[in-house]
Amino acid sequence: MIKDQDLLSIQEVHDAVVEAAEAQKVYASYSQQQVDAIVQAIAEEAYRQAEHLAVLAVTETKMGVIEHKKIKNELASKGVYASICHEKTVGVVHEDPTAKQIEIAYPYGVIAAVSPVTNPTATAIYKTLIALKAQNAIVFSPHPTAVNCTIEALKICHEAAVRAGAPAGLIRWVAHPTIKGTEALMQHKNIQLILATGGSGLVKAAYSSGKPAYGVGPGNVPVYIDHTANVARAVQQIIDSKSFDNSTICATEQAIVVHQDVKAQVMTALAQNGATIVTGEDRLKLAQVISPVPRTLNTQIVGKPAINIAKMAQIQVPASTRVLVAEEQYIGKEHPFSMEKLSPILGLYTAHSQEEAIRLCQQLLDVGGRGHSAAIHAENDQFVKEFSIQMPVSRILVNTMASVGAAGGTTSLTPSYTLGCGAYGGNITSDNITARHLINKKRVAYGIKELAVPKPQHPQNIQQPAVAVNTGEDVTIDPAMIRKIVEDIVSKLTV
């Protein structure tokens, strides 16, 4: 049923898309230099406002950590800009003199963007930068519980863009987002591409819209600590990663798989890094808080500090607790510690061999993270390769924080807040989405090879069957008579 709020949202969608489409027509005539100046201005202003936006995001959503949101905003602005600033996205982008081929870029047009509550401002900045770098306009449907901070980020980007010479309306948004409004945005006739970052239902809707779409699946990232790992460093990085912004990045570790030979060292290191091991009755209470409805995550724990979640579960933990850890043997959606928890809670599994570790990681991914990411801490490069080959994911993070590593913060991966899950996850790409994914290319190809077309060497004197012509009567055409008529005509023409 469509309600008044839905009608308002749908009207806002229409107005925003129409305005963005008009602005994009003007923007499509800009040179690479003009586009780059606008993108640089947005990145610099968003970077300057990173802390302000972080405060707004945490205040509004009640998720995450201000200092960590600030880092996310900085990566989304300066980090993303540094990765795309030298890329050609306008006009001729590549010439191959040998192949005699030219590639010319052209934009999609107007992009529909949906941003999540977990990373609202960083996603808004990042998607704006890559869309405008590719000469597109962009219209956002913010998450309903992160509307104000998302719109503030977009206003900052829009004002910076206009000051740098962009046409007004190139960056638009829906101020009253609803499900019906978001559907109307994705299905609008002037939308040429969808960038969907959010839950599986949203991604499914994007793929069902009939429009080209980049959607990403959930992450349920296992991290394996091998017996060859530097255990102290591995555990420190895992706990730092898991507590980063209270585990709101989809590439964050969700369960540790540890080789039995180093388990004792891992347990000691966990305690040294602010992790509290939850056992017995407390473990059961925590599991109930994670998933009060079987096979479903409790959204009230998403992005909350570990000590707050412990209070929800009515268990006592030290005030210094950064992450809650519980040992588990079973894997499946009915076992909460094996789920994607989006909060500083880790399941812990013991592997008696490397082969068992691989199997456990694969099973954890099957719970809901296929295609996304996996992590490993090991000093044996050959085994890292074997592990990576067998993981049904699009990125494997080695000896680093999986959360920010997958997004390009601590690795050489492309900085991105939309991480493709490839065929494993039902996505069109396994890449970290960036500006190059938001352009089309036309190819100009010169002839470089001669093709000799052979002429027939034999007369094409093929007898044709009689043809029945529907004249109202049964008539049969005699091929011999037709040849006689043709020969008579030809003889007259050659006289």
> Catalytic residues, which ones?
250
Residue 121 and residue 149 in contact, taking contact as beta carbons nearer than 8 Å: yes
DSSP string covering 127-188: HHHHHHHTT-EEEEE--GGGHHHHHHHHHHHHHHHHHTTPPTTSEEE-SS--HHHHHHHHH-
Rounded to the nearest 10 degrees, what angle do helices 120-133 and 147-163 cross at?
A: 30
Q: Could you tell me the CA-to-CA distances from 162 to 23, 39, 41, 107, 166 in Å, in that order?
A: 11, 11, 9, 19, 5
The rounded distance, in Å, linking the Cα atoms of 436 and 456 is 48
Residue 38 and residue 166 in contact, taking contact as beta carbons nearer than 8 Å: yes
The rounded distance, in Å, linking the Cα atoms of 11 and 180 is 11
For the chain, how are helix, strand and coil distributed in percent, rounded to 5? Answer: 45, 15, 35
Token pair for residue 293? Answer: 């409805």
The rounded distance, in Å, linking the Cα atoms of 21 and 200 is 28
The rounded distance, in Å, linking the Cα atoms of 361 and 159 is 46
The rounded distance, in Å, linking the Cα atoms of 98 and 305 is 58
For residue 75, what is the DSSP state? I
Q: Which of 58, 41, 50, 38 is nearest to 75 (CA)?
A: 50
The rounded distance, in Å, linking the Cα atoms of 11 and 181 is 8
Alpha helix locations (H) across 317-458? Answer: 354-366, 381-390, 402-406
Token pair for residue 153? Answer: 């980020």
The rounded distance, in Å, linking the Cα atoms of 302 and 317 is 19
Residue 344 and residue 382 in contact, taking contact as beta carbons nearer than 8 Å: no
The rounded distance, in Å, linking the Cα atoms of 64 and 120 is 11
The rounded distance, in Å, linking the Cα atoms of 160 and 183 is 29
Strand pairing class (91-96; 101-107): antiparallel
At 226 the three-state DSSP class reads coil
Q: Which of 179, 184, 256, 270 is nearest to 222 (CA)?
A: 256
Phi, psi dihedral angles at 448 (to 5 degrees): -125, -5
Q: Could you tell me the CA-to-CA distances from 311 to 259, 289, 291 in Å, in that order?
A: 32, 10, 15
Q: Which of 431, 403, 269 is nearest to 348 (CA)?
A: 269
